Structure 1
Amino acid sequence: MGFADLLNEVGGFGRFQLIHVTLLSIPGLLMASQNLLNNFTAGMPGHHCTIPNRTSIASSHNFSLSEVDDRQLLRAFIPMDANGIEFLKCTRYVKAQWHLLKSNISAIRPTNFTDFETEMCLDGWTYDKTEFLSTIVSEWDLVCTLRPLKQMSQTIYMGGVLSGAIIFGGLSDRFGRKALLIWSYFQLATLGTCTAFSPSYVTYCVLRFMTGMAVSGVILNAVSLKVEWIPTKTRTLVGTLSSFFFTFGQMVLAGIAYSLRDWRKLQIAVCAPFFIFFLYSWWYSESARWLVLNRRSDEALKHLHRVAKINGKPEKIEKITLEVLESHMHKEIQSSKGTYTAYDLIRTVVMRRISLCLMIVWFSTSFAYYGLAMDLQKFGVNIYLMQIIFGMVDFPAKLMALGSLTFLGRRVTQGTCLLMSAVMIFANIFVPTDMQSVRTTLACLGKGFTSASFTCVYLFTGELYPTVIRQTGMGFVSTMARIGSMAAPAVLILDEVMPALPSIVYGGAAVVAGIIAFFLPETLNIPLPDTIGDVEEKWTKKKPNAEKQCEKEMEAFQKNEGVHEDDGKTIGLKVL
């Protein structure tokens, strides 16, 4: 008998769980926006050096601007690349080369375009507003020598997500899931909205860092509040279906970004709604498991009675008393009297194996996912359309993961998704660059498998770690995911050494993690562990035989034997 039995008594997956999970999942529509926002707010528009006083320059050379269009006119001011197709982005001619307009351009060797004296863009840049009206790139001229700052903004944001995983993970095990989730909503709404009014790049990065911290707080605590109120048999279905909110959110982001095309308006649109989530989050019920294990059984009992009432089981209110609750969780209460730190994640054999394996799985999943998802402009397809395609491919991938999680288990699903994503990434290496549609298809499939891996690992991790240290564990291993997301953009620099090298690194990491995933314990249809002892007992490889186990129990009984008066009867107590 344990807490899972109490959940079944108060209605299992009833009306309360449905409302609770839905309200916790709705913010997921905009959580995808936070992580992928850089694709649009930091989009790289077409640009070239600004040419000052073109009209006066043309007049001084007796040249009419009405005779040529803008693109032709640029030939007199901006050098072209070695192929004579695109204008260079970071240089211009010192003097206008009007003769290039009057000459047969096709007859001039492309290399001749660079034979004239050039200079840097001293008067700034002119940006093409076809795809984006305004981005932080055009706002603060993050091009040419400052181009690395574009990716730096995403790295700083992911650094905030990393810090939030560490900080909020431990705090929520100490102060509760609900309190930290409410605070995270408020922090994300306030600082995310303020980011839209950033007067400088530095201010923007600081606010994005703080927003990233709040994103971790929302994700980690929402996952735990879902898992800890859901019966064992429905965890897989609920975990997968709720992840569809994140998937659909990717398409919502594309729609909002296409409608606004201004980074400041987009920033407000995806952050301000969290004020609404903050307001209704007070309806949530704190995890009864956490309350009992933190010696707040009275509050836990009130939440259980509330759940029973909402689920249409009012008769259970009188039957479930404080004594019943504590008797169901007697062993967990005894084990929770100590304090737990991150060291407990690696102190015992099984916990150590779980933590080390999950660190690798989280890192590689995030590493491969953001390696594919954070550079949509490289595919040569409209970025808004590409975002929708990347979101749509997640639906069949997650449905496939749902079936696999239900019938094959967590371990097989996790390992297979990672290995299949590696296959797609490696296959893309051998596809010629001119076969863009094939490359895009393989990239979408790879992203779909990594997305399915994310769905599995969130559920898997919540089931592997015990209640007393679940949030600390989630924060600890998801830290590796944030490191992976921070490292992913930096790996793209390796394409200067060899174009296929980034794909080799992404795919290699997925292969290693896929193999490592098969060393994790299976949790399909297994009740959530509440203590570290539960974890060691369930998944230790060397279990004592029945005879030795009985001897240990008898020894414990003799050592802790006692009497208790209950209704005039003497009852022997056996402390296990």
Structure 2
Amino acid sequence: MAFQDLLYQVGGLGRFQILQIVCLCISSIIVFPHVLLENFTAAIPGHRCWVHILDNDTVSANGTGILSQDTLLRISIPLDSNLRPENCRRFLHPQWQLLHLNGTFPNVSELDTEPCVNGWVYDQSSFSSTIVTEWDLVCEFQSLISVSKFLVMAGMLVGGIIYGHLSDRWLAESARWLIITNKPEEALNKLRKAAHRNGRKNVADTLTLEVLRSTTQEELEAAQNKPPVYDLFRTRNLRKRICVLSFMRFTTFLPYFGLNLHVQHLGKNVFLSQVLFGVVTLPSNYVALLALNHLGRRVSQMLFLFLLGISILITTFVPEEMQSLRVALATFGVGVSSAASTSSATHGNELIPTVVRAVAVGVIGIAANIGAAVAPLLMILTVYSPHLPWIIYGVSPILSALAVRLLPETRNQPLPDSIQDVENERKDWRKAKQEEISMKVTPF
């Protein structure tokens, strides 16, 4: 009899567990939208250079009205390769000769132009004001948007480290963790509360400290020597798991936040894209749950991560004019990225022994938050190629999928309680493998 039997007595999935899940969901609902606000507060509206002949109030008031705004725009702002007004350059002087040309002309690029030395004019049809319009974070200053998003994500990284430690003061601890850390009295109290909320009131009479000690004797013996933090990397098997899980979480969160923080780069209508991204998250997590239970942890993660990488790479090279296809692929990518994150978290928790799980999850979480913080910084690479950041977003989950093969399957397997359980698992696997080979070569 072990701790799993105690869980069956108090109720494996009842009112108590459901209440815990609801509380976690409420906190996530409150926190996560603050990250997505960057898609609106740092949105880049349409913009062009401020031009004296177009935007000076005095000139506009005294103008004859002979020339339209479109005509003045044509002689003031050069066209880009898509025959749209340039965002970051203007003509040094009005090019009146362009009025006599009906179509495109060969020598436009040779005409003298200059940067937007007098500022920009912004399209306010969708966003009346953002940090971009307030601080002119466009053209050569556009990389500062990535810096602002990085600072937000870096704040999450620092906050997770600090407040993750402080939260132990008021959050209820796991009964299993309390047993492992040699606090059986507190663990008994938690188990009795869980049984009471699950409607199993009679269990409180039979579940005593003596019963708890006898059923978890092995866990209590392991708790006598509380492992220090460096034990995460002292033994070979556990060190391998921590390093692989940290790499996986980094390369999973990199594209996840790359998609979620750059909605405007994927579709013109930020509001529609954001709604679609939010709607697809719920069914994707349900699909992740089904896959984890039927396909296993490893196959599920590899499937979702490969689909994520492929969807991003395809989206990267779809022309901007095909907006519907780009938004559909991006929405699919957000869905599988959410499923991949859920699968990764589940698998990781089942691979780490209980005695160091809290510390290990913190270390892996730091790697994940580093990936989230690096994601917006990669957009600075657009100065070299507009596709480069998205290629990195697409390749990283594929590398993560390959790393999953280095971890064992944990479906229907008991949770490891001690570091020795993890190391013995490797020895048991080797022993079973040797016995299998022996059986094959032994004559009968």
TM-score (normalizing by structure 1): 0.67
- Tell me, what secondary structure is at the counterpart of 2:48? strand
**What is the aligned partner in structure 1 of residue 117 from structure 2?**
121
How many residue pairs align between the two structures?
A: 430
Q: How well do the aligned residues superpose, as a CA RMSD in angstroms?
A: 3.1
Distance between the aligned counterparts of 1:338 and 1:473, measured in 2? 18
Runs ≥4 residues deviating over 6 A = none
Displacement, 1:405?
Answer: 0.4
1:157 pairs with 2:152: yes
- Tell me, what secondary structure is at the counterpart of 2:233? helix
Distance between the aligned counterparts of 1:109 and 1:374, measured in 2? 39
Displacement, 1:69?
Answer: 5.6
- Tell me, what secondary structure is at the counterpart of 1:393? helix
Matches within 5 A, 1:172-211: 176=168, 179=170
Displacement, 1:429?
Answer: 5.3
**What is the aligned partner in structure 1 of residue 134 from structure 2?**
139
- Work out whether residues 83 and 110 of structure 1, in 8 Å CA contact, stay in contact via their aligned partners in 2: no
Matches within 5 A, 1:393-412: 393-412=280-299
- Tell me, what secondary structure is at the counterpart of 1:126? strand
**What is the aligned partner in structure 2 of residue 263 from structure 1?**
none
In structure 2, do the counterparts of structure 1 residues 117 and 372 end up closer, same or farther at CA, with 3 Å as the change threshold? closer
Q: Which structure 2 residue ranges, 5 or more long, are not aligned?
A: 433-444
User: Which amino acid in 2 is paired with 1:406?
Assistant: N
- Work out whether residues 143 and 379 of structure 2, in 8 Å CA contact, stay in contact via their aligned partners in 1: no
Displacement, 1:514?
Answer: 0.8
Q: Which structure 1 residue ranges, 5 or more long, are not aligned?
A: 182-284, 546-576
Deviation readout 1:489-509 (Å, 9 max, x if unpaired): 343444554554444433332
Distance between the aligned counterparts of 1:441 and 1:48, measured in 2? 29
Displacement, 1:410?
Answer: 0.8
Distance between the aligned counterparts of 1:333 and 1:460, measured in 2? 25
In structure 2, do the counterparts of structure 1 residues 443 and 74 end up closer, same or farther at CA, with 3 Å as the change threshold? same
In structure 2, do the counterparts of structure 1 residues 108 and 24 end up closer, same or farther at CA, with 3 Å as the change threshold? closer
1:466 pairs with 2:353: yes
Displacement, 1:385?
Answer: 0.6
- Tell me, what secondary structure is at the counterpart of 1:537? helix
- Work out whether residues 168 and 475 of structure 1, in 8 Å CA contact, stay in contact via their aligned partners in 2: no
Matches within 5 A, 1:497-516: 497-516=384-403
User: Which amino acid in 2 is paired with 1:19?
Assistant: L
Distance between the aligned counterparts of 1:528 and 1:34, measured in 2? 34
Deviation readout 1:158-197 (Å, 9 max, x if unpaired): 223333444455x37xx73x63x6xxxxxxxxxxxxxxxx
- Work out whether residues 77 and 89 of structure 2, in 8 Å CA contact, stay in contact via their aligned partners in 1: yes
**What is the aligned partner in structure 2 of residue 316 from structure 1?**
203
In structure 2, do the counterparts of structure 1 residues 426 and 126 end up closer, same or farther at CA, with 3 Å as the change threshold? closer
Displacement, 1:355?
Answer: 1.2
Deviation readout 1:372-405 (Å, 9 max, x if unpaired): 3322222343011111222333344333322210
TM-score (normalizing by structure 2): 0.85
- Tell me, what secondary structure is at the counterpart of 1:48? strand
Displacement, 1:58?
Answer: 4.5
User: Which amino acid in 2 is paired with 1:445?
Assistant: F
Percent identity (aligned): 36
In structure 2, do the counterparts of structure 1 residues 113 and 342 end up closer, same or farther at CA, with 3 Å as the change threshold? same
Distance between the aligned counterparts of 2:128 and 2:387, measured in 1? 33
Displacement, 1:154?
Answer: 1.2
Distance between the aligned counterparts of 1:505 and 1:108, measured in 2? 37
Deviation readout 1:433-480 (Å, 9 max, x if unpaired): 544433333333233222211011111112211222112111212222
Displacement, 1:71?
Answer: 4.9
1:522 pairs with 2:409: yes
